[in-house]
Amino acid sequence: MDNEIKLTDIIDIRTMQELLDAYARAAGLAVTVYDHEGVNILSLNQTDLCAHTRGTQRLAENAKKDALRAGQTAARSGRPVFYTAFDGVVEFAVAVTVRGEQIGTIAAGQVLSDRPDTSAISALASKIGVDPDDYIPAANELKIISKEELNTYAELLLRISGLISRLGSDRLSELDELSARTESISGLAADYEKISEQSVAAVKALRDFAARFESVRKKAQAADRTMTSTDSVLNYVQNVATRMTLLGFNASIEAKHAGEAGAGFNVIAQEVRTLAEQTSGRIRSAEEVLGGVKLTIKNIEQELNAAKEKIDDNIETINALEAAIAEAGEKIKRS
Protein backbone atom coordinates (compact mmCIF):
# COMPACT_ATOMS: atom_id res chain seq x y z
CA MET A 1 0.00 0.00 0.00
CA ASP A 2 1.11 3.51 -0.74
CA ASN A 3 1.51 5.95 2.17
CA GLU A 4 -0.14 8.56 0.01
CA ILE A 5 -3.38 7.10 1.42
CA LYS A 6 -4.19 8.82 4.69
CA LEU A 7 -5.94 7.40 7.73
CA THR A 8 -8.82 9.81 7.16
CA ASP A 9 -9.19 8.62 3.55
CA ILE A 10 -10.15 5.08 4.48
CA ILE A 11 -11.38 5.28 8.09
CA ASP A 12 -14.66 6.91 9.03
CA ILE A 13 -13.56 9.36 11.75
CA ARG A 14 -16.98 9.44 13.40
CA THR A 15 -17.02 5.65 13.79
CA MET A 16 -13.47 5.64 15.14
CA GLN A 17 -14.28 8.47 17.54
CA GLU A 18 -17.34 6.62 18.91
CA LEU A 19 -15.29 3.47 19.51
CA LEU A 20 -12.37 5.23 21.15
CA ASP A 21 -14.50 7.65 23.17
CA ALA A 22 -16.41 4.74 24.70
CA TYR A 23 -13.09 3.02 25.46
CA ALA A 24 -11.51 6.18 26.97
CA ARG A 25 -14.44 6.82 29.29
CA ALA A 26 -14.76 3.20 30.37
CA ALA A 27 -11.01 2.87 31.10
CA GLY A 28 -10.54 6.38 32.43
CA LEU A 29 -7.68 6.98 30.01
CA ALA A 30 -6.79 9.81 27.67
CA VAL A 31 -6.62 8.78 24.00
CA THR A 32 -4.83 10.51 21.11
CA VAL A 33 -4.82 9.42 17.46
CA TYR A 34 -2.12 10.40 14.94
CA ASP A 35 -1.98 9.59 11.23
CA HIS A 36 1.20 8.28 9.57
CA GLU A 37 2.42 11.86 9.05
CA GLY A 38 2.01 12.72 12.73
CA VAL A 39 -1.11 14.83 12.28
CA ASN A 40 -3.31 14.80 15.41
CA ILE A 41 -6.65 13.34 14.30
CA LEU A 42 -8.42 12.87 17.65
CA SER A 43 -7.79 13.91 21.28
CA LEU A 44 -10.23 12.32 23.75
CA ASN A 45 -10.65 12.52 27.54
CA GLN A 46 -7.49 14.59 27.98
CA THR A 47 -6.25 15.32 31.55
CA ASP A 48 -5.66 18.69 33.18
CA LEU A 49 -1.95 17.85 33.34
CA CYS A 50 -1.94 17.54 29.57
CA ALA A 51 -3.25 21.09 29.30
CA HIS A 52 -0.21 22.31 31.23
CA THR A 53 2.50 20.04 29.81
CA ARG A 54 1.32 19.83 26.20
CA GLY A 55 -0.39 23.17 25.77
CA THR A 56 2.31 24.72 23.62
CA GLN A 57 3.43 23.59 20.17
CA ARG A 58 6.90 22.68 21.45
CA LEU A 59 5.60 20.47 24.28
CA ALA A 60 2.90 18.94 22.06
CA GLU A 61 5.65 18.05 19.58
CA ASN A 62 7.51 16.19 22.33
CA ALA A 63 4.39 14.17 23.18
CA LYS A 64 3.83 13.36 19.50
CA LYS A 65 7.42 12.13 19.05
CA ASP A 66 7.06 9.82 22.05
CA ALA A 67 3.78 8.40 20.75
CA LEU A 68 4.94 7.95 17.14
CA ARG A 69 8.16 6.24 18.21
CA ALA A 70 6.16 3.77 20.30
CA GLY A 71 3.61 3.37 17.49
CA GLN A 72 6.32 2.39 15.00
CA THR A 73 7.64 -0.24 17.40
CA ALA A 74 4.09 -1.52 17.93
CA ALA A 75 3.60 -1.79 14.14
CA ARG A 76 6.71 -3.97 13.84
CA SER A 77 5.90 -6.18 16.83
CA GLY A 78 2.12 -6.33 16.54
CA ARG A 79 1.89 -5.69 20.28
CA PRO A 80 1.13 -2.67 22.50
CA VAL A 81 4.24 -0.69 23.48
CA PHE A 82 4.44 0.95 26.93
CA TYR A 83 6.51 4.08 27.51
CA THR A 84 6.99 6.96 29.90
CA ALA A 85 6.33 10.23 28.13
CA PHE A 86 8.54 13.29 28.39
CA ASP A 87 6.26 14.77 31.06
CA GLY A 88 6.46 11.67 33.31
CA VAL A 89 3.07 10.08 32.59
CA VAL A 90 2.69 6.43 31.62
CA GLU A 91 1.23 5.69 28.19
CA PHE A 92 1.06 2.87 25.67
CA ALA A 93 0.63 2.87 21.91
CA VAL A 94 -0.82 0.55 19.29
CA ALA A 95 -0.60 0.79 15.51
CA VAL A 96 -3.34 1.02 12.90
CA THR A 97 -2.18 -1.02 9.91
CA VAL A 98 -3.72 -1.76 6.54
CA ARG A 99 -2.25 -4.41 4.24
CA GLY A 100 0.85 -4.59 6.38
CA GLU A 101 1.56 -0.86 6.35
CA GLN A 102 1.14 1.51 9.29
CA ILE A 103 -1.29 4.36 8.63
CA GLY A 104 -1.75 5.61 12.19
CA THR A 105 -0.93 5.43 15.90
CA ILE A 106 -3.30 5.31 18.88
CA ALA A 107 -1.76 6.44 22.16
CA ALA A 108 -3.58 5.99 25.48
CA GLY A 109 -2.79 6.65 29.11
CA GLN A 110 -1.75 9.90 30.78
CA VAL A 111 -1.78 7.97 34.07
CA LEU A 112 0.71 7.02 36.77
CA SER A 113 1.64 3.58 38.09
CA ASP A 114 2.62 4.92 41.58
CA ARG A 115 1.87 7.85 43.82
CA PRO A 116 3.68 10.95 42.53
CA ASP A 117 6.77 12.12 44.39
CA THR A 118 6.40 15.87 44.89
CA SER A 119 10.10 16.67 44.68
CA ALA A 120 10.54 14.47 41.60
CA ILE A 121 7.64 15.94 39.70
CA SER A 122 8.67 19.46 40.71
CA ALA A 123 12.11 18.85 39.26
CA LEU A 124 10.56 17.37 36.10
CA ALA A 125 8.29 20.40 35.73
CA SER A 126 11.28 22.72 35.89
CA LYS A 127 13.15 20.53 33.39
CA ILE A 128 10.44 20.65 30.75
CA GLY A 129 9.69 24.32 31.35
CA VAL A 130 6.33 24.02 33.15
CA ASP A 131 5.32 25.94 36.27
CA PRO A 132 5.56 23.44 39.19
CA ASP A 133 2.65 25.19 40.92
CA ASP A 134 0.43 24.15 38.01
CA TYR A 135 2.07 20.80 37.32
CA ILE A 136 2.05 19.33 40.85
CA PRO A 137 -1.73 19.71 41.52
CA ALA A 138 -2.51 18.33 38.05
CA ALA A 139 -0.16 15.37 38.62
CA ASN A 140 -1.82 14.58 41.94
CA GLU A 141 -5.17 14.29 40.12
CA LEU A 142 -3.86 11.69 37.65
CA LYS A 143 -5.35 8.21 37.83
CA ILE A 144 -3.05 5.58 39.32
CA ILE A 145 -3.36 2.21 37.55
CA SER A 146 -1.48 -0.99 38.21
CA LYS A 147 0.60 -2.64 35.54
CA GLU A 148 -1.81 -5.59 35.35
CA GLU A 149 -4.75 -3.26 34.79
CA LEU A 150 -2.77 -1.30 32.19
CA ASN A 151 -1.99 -4.54 30.37
CA THR A 152 -5.70 -5.35 30.27
CA TYR A 153 -6.53 -1.93 28.84
CA ALA A 154 -3.67 -2.21 26.38
CA GLU A 155 -4.92 -5.58 25.11
CA LEU A 156 -8.41 -4.13 24.69
CA LEU A 157 -7.03 -1.17 22.74
CA LEU A 158 -5.06 -3.57 20.55
CA ARG A 159 -8.31 -5.35 19.66
CA ILE A 160 -9.98 -2.01 18.90
CA SER A 161 -7.07 -0.99 16.67
CA GLY A 162 -7.40 -4.36 14.91
CA LEU A 163 -11.08 -3.66 14.29
CA ILE A 164 -10.27 -0.20 12.96
CA SER A 165 -7.56 -1.70 10.75
CA ARG A 166 -10.03 -4.22 9.29
CA LEU A 167 -12.54 -1.46 8.64
CA GLY A 168 -9.79 0.46 6.85
CA SER A 169 -8.77 -2.58 4.82
CA ASP A 170 -12.37 -3.23 3.76
CA ARG A 171 -12.81 0.40 2.80
CA LEU A 172 -9.57 0.36 0.82
CA SER A 173 -10.74 -2.74 -1.05
CA GLU A 174 -14.00 -0.96 -1.86
CA LEU A 175 -12.04 2.05 -3.13
CA ASP A 176 -9.80 -0.19 -5.25
CA GLU A 177 -12.84 -1.93 -6.74
CA LEU A 178 -14.52 1.41 -7.37
CA SER A 179 -11.35 2.75 -9.00
CA ALA A 180 -11.07 -0.32 -11.23
CA ARG A 181 -14.74 -0.04 -12.16
CA THR A 182 -14.33 3.66 -12.88
CA GLU A 183 -11.32 2.97 -15.09
CA SER A 184 -13.27 0.26 -16.91
CA ILE A 185 -16.23 2.59 -17.44
CA SER A 186 -13.90 5.37 -18.56
CA GLY A 187 -12.28 3.00 -21.05
CA LEU A 188 -15.67 1.87 -22.29
CA ALA A 189 -16.81 5.48 -22.61
CA ALA A 190 -13.66 6.26 -24.60
CA ASP A 191 -14.39 3.30 -26.89
CA TYR A 192 -17.94 4.50 -27.40
CA GLU A 193 -16.64 7.98 -28.12
CA LYS A 194 -14.25 6.58 -30.70
CA ILE A 195 -17.00 4.50 -32.33
CA SER A 196 -19.25 7.56 -32.36
CA GLU A 197 -16.56 9.60 -34.07
CA GLN A 198 -16.03 6.83 -36.62
CA SER A 199 -19.76 6.61 -37.31
CA VAL A 200 -19.91 10.38 -37.85
CA ALA A 201 -17.00 10.11 -40.27
CA ALA A 202 -18.75 7.21 -42.05
CA VAL A 203 -21.96 9.21 -42.40
CA LYS A 204 -20.03 12.16 -43.77
CA ALA A 205 -18.21 9.94 -46.26
CA LEU A 206 -21.48 8.36 -47.39
CA ARG A 207 -23.10 11.76 -47.75
CA ASP A 208 -20.18 12.99 -49.82
CA PHE A 209 -20.42 9.82 -51.89
CA ALA A 210 -24.16 10.31 -52.29
CA ALA A 211 -23.57 13.90 -53.42
CA ARG A 212 -21.14 12.67 -56.05
CA PHE A 213 -23.62 10.04 -57.18
CA GLU A 214 -26.28 12.73 -57.45
CA SER A 215 -23.92 14.83 -59.55
CA VAL A 216 -23.21 11.91 -61.89
CA ARG A 217 -26.93 11.13 -62.09
CA LYS A 218 -27.71 14.70 -63.08
CA LYS A 219 -25.00 14.61 -65.73
CA ALA A 220 -26.51 11.39 -67.08
CA GLN A 221 -29.89 13.09 -67.25
CA ALA A 222 -28.30 16.06 -69.03
CA ALA A 223 -26.65 13.66 -71.51
CA ASP A 224 -30.02 12.03 -72.13
CA ARG A 225 -31.56 15.42 -72.85
CA THR A 226 -28.68 16.21 -75.20
CA MET A 227 -29.28 12.95 -77.03
CA THR A 228 -32.95 13.85 -77.35
CA SER A 229 -31.92 17.20 -78.91
CA THR A 230 -29.67 15.30 -81.32
CA ASP A 231 -32.72 13.31 -82.44
CA SER A 232 -34.40 16.49 -83.62
CA VAL A 233 -31.27 17.51 -85.54
CA LEU A 234 -31.08 14.10 -87.20
CA ASN A 235 -34.77 14.28 -88.07
CA TYR A 236 -34.20 17.67 -89.67
CA VAL A 237 -31.26 16.36 -91.73
CA GLN A 238 -33.32 13.31 -92.71
CA ASN A 239 -36.08 15.61 -93.95
CA VAL A 240 -33.54 17.58 -95.95
CA ALA A 241 -32.17 14.36 -97.49
CA THR A 242 -35.69 13.22 -98.40
CA ARG A 243 -36.38 16.53 -100.09
CA MET A 244 -33.08 16.31 -101.95
CA THR A 245 -34.06 12.85 -103.18
CA LEU A 246 -37.40 14.18 -104.44
CA LEU A 247 -35.64 17.14 -105.98
CA GLY A 248 -33.24 14.78 -107.77
CA PHE A 249 -36.13 12.76 -109.19
CA ASN A 250 -37.90 15.88 -110.38
CA ALA A 251 -34.72 17.20 -111.93
CA SER A 252 -34.16 13.91 -113.80
CA ILE A 253 -37.69 14.02 -115.18
CA GLU A 254 -37.25 17.58 -116.34
CA ALA A 255 -33.85 16.73 -117.89
CA LYS A 256 -35.45 13.92 -119.94
CA HIS A 257 -38.12 16.32 -121.16
CA ALA A 258 -35.39 18.75 -122.29
CA GLY A 259 -33.63 16.10 -124.40
CA GLU A 260 -29.95 16.64 -125.23
CA ALA A 261 -30.06 20.12 -123.72
CA GLY A 262 -30.84 18.63 -120.31
CA ALA A 263 -28.23 15.85 -120.39
CA GLY A 264 -25.78 17.73 -118.14
CA PHE A 265 -28.54 18.66 -115.75
CA ASN A 266 -29.55 14.97 -115.58
CA VAL A 267 -26.01 14.05 -114.37
CA ILE A 268 -26.27 16.65 -111.63
CA ALA A 269 -29.70 15.32 -110.63
CA GLN A 270 -28.31 11.80 -110.30
CA GLU A 271 -25.46 13.05 -108.10
CA VAL A 272 -27.98 14.86 -105.93
CA ARG A 273 -30.01 11.66 -105.49
CA THR A 274 -26.86 9.66 -104.71
CA LEU A 275 -25.80 12.23 -102.09
CA ALA A 276 -29.29 12.20 -100.56
CA GLU A 277 -29.29 8.38 -100.37
CA GLN A 278 -25.83 8.36 -98.76
CA THR A 279 -26.93 11.02 -96.27
CA SER A 280 -30.00 8.98 -95.35
CA GLY A 281 -27.81 5.90 -94.81
CA ARG A 282 -25.43 7.81 -92.58
CA ILE A 283 -28.33 9.25 -90.62
CA ARG A 284 -29.81 5.78 -90.03
CA SER A 285 -26.42 4.54 -88.81
CA ALA A 286 -26.12 7.58 -86.52
CA GLU A 287 -29.61 6.95 -85.18
CA GLU A 288 -28.71 3.34 -84.39
CA VAL A 289 -25.52 4.43 -82.58
CA LEU A 290 -27.29 7.22 -80.71
CA GLY A 291 -30.10 4.85 -79.80
CA GLY A 292 -27.57 2.48 -78.23
CA VAL A 293 -25.93 5.37 -76.36
CA LYS A 294 -29.32 6.55 -75.09
CA LEU A 295 -30.16 3.05 -73.87
CA THR A 296 -26.80 2.82 -72.09
CA ILE A 297 -27.35 6.22 -70.44
CA LYS A 298 -30.82 5.14 -69.35
CA ASN A 299 -29.39 1.96 -67.78
CA ILE A 300 -26.64 3.97 -66.05
CA GLU A 301 -29.22 6.39 -64.68
CA GLN A 302 -31.31 3.51 -63.34
CA GLU A 303 -28.25 1.95 -61.68
CA LEU A 304 -27.29 5.32 -60.15
CA ASN A 305 -30.81 5.80 -58.79
CA ALA A 306 -30.76 2.33 -57.23
CA ALA A 307 -27.29 2.94 -55.75
CA LYS A 308 -28.38 6.29 -54.32
CA GLU A 309 -31.39 4.65 -52.64
CA LYS A 310 -29.08 2.09 -51.01
CA ILE A 311 -26.71 4.84 -49.87
CA ASP A 312 -29.63 6.77 -48.38
CA ASP A 313 -30.74 3.61 -46.56
CA ASN A 314 -27.19 3.12 -45.22
CA ILE A 315 -27.05 6.72 -44.05
CA GLU A 316 -30.31 6.27 -42.15
CA THR A 317 -29.00 3.05 -40.58
CA ILE A 318 -25.73 4.69 -39.49
CA ASN A 319 -27.62 7.73 -38.18
CA ALA A 320 -29.74 5.39 -36.04
CA LEU A 321 -26.57 3.59 -34.89
CA GLU A 322 -24.92 6.92 -34.07
CA ALA A 323 -27.92 7.96 -31.97
CA ALA A 324 -27.88 4.60 -30.14
CA ILE A 325 -24.14 4.92 -29.47
CA ALA A 326 -24.57 8.47 -28.18
CA GLU A 327 -27.38 7.36 -25.86
CA ALA A 328 -25.29 4.45 -24.57
CA GLY A 329 -22.34 6.78 -24.03
CA GLU A 330 -24.48 9.15 -21.94
CA LYS A 331 -25.71 6.23 -19.80
CA ILE A 332 -22.11 5.13 -19.22
CA LYS A 333 -21.05 8.64 -18.21
CA ARG A 334 -23.96 8.87 -15.74
CA SER A 335 -23.21 5.44 -14.22
Is position 150 within any domain?
no
What average pLDDT does the chain have? 79
Span 124-143, average pLDDT: 86
pLDDT at 20: 95
Beta-bridged to residue 101, according to DSSP, are 98
Predicted pLDDT at 213: 63
Tell me which of 94, 124, 145 is where a domain ends: 145
Task: Residue 224: name the closest of 299, 278, 150, 159 by CA.
Answer: 299
Is it the case that residue 131 has pLDDT exceeding 70? Answer: yes
Q: Using the predicted structure, report yes or no on whether residue 217 has a pLDDT greater than 90.
A: no
Task: Choose one of 86, 121, 145: the last residue of a domain.
Answer: 145
Number of H helices, E strands in the chain: 8, 5
Question: What is the per-residue pLDDT across 99-117, written as a single tens digit (0 to 9) for each?
Answer: 889 999 999 999 998 888 8
Do 34 and 141 belong to one domain? yes
Query: Is residue 117 domain-resident?
Result: yes
Say if pTM beats, i.e. exceeds, 0.85.
no
Q: Are residues 137 and 192 in the same domain?
A: no
Question: Residue 34's domain spans which residues?
Answer: 7-145
Q: How many Å apart are CA 15 and CA 1, to the nearest integer?
A: 23
Q: In this structure, are 305 and 193 located in the same domain?
A: yes
Do residue 13 and residue 137 come from a single domain?
A: yes
Is residue 314 scored above 80 in pLDDT?
no
Predicted pLDDT of residue 203: 66
- 224 and 278 fall within a common domain: yes
Q: What is the CATH number of the domain that holds 310?
A: 1.10.287.950
Q: What CATH number does the domain containing 118 carry?
A: 3.30.450.20
d(CA 100, CA 114): 37
Q: Please tell me the predicted confidence (pLDDT) of residue 170.
A: 86
Look at the chain and report how many structural domains it folds into. Answer: 2
Least confident of 71-85, 220-234, 278-292: 220-234
Sorted by sequence, the CB contacts under 8 Å of residue 82 that are 6+ apart come out as 70, 90, 91, 92, 150, 154
High-pLDDT (> 70) share of the chain, %:
66
Q: Does 132 reside within a domain?
A: yes
Per residue in 12-36, pLDDT (tens digit) is 899 899 999 999 999 999 999 999 8
The reply to whether 328 and 191 lie within a common domain is yes
Note whether 211 and 299 are same-domain residues.
yes
Residues 207, 105 within the same domain: no
Which of residues 150 and 266 earns the better pLDDT score?
150
> How confident is the model over 290-309, as a mean pLDDT?
70
Q: Is residue 71 part of a domain?
A: yes
Instruction: State phi, psi for 39 to the nearest 5 degrees.
Output: -75, 130
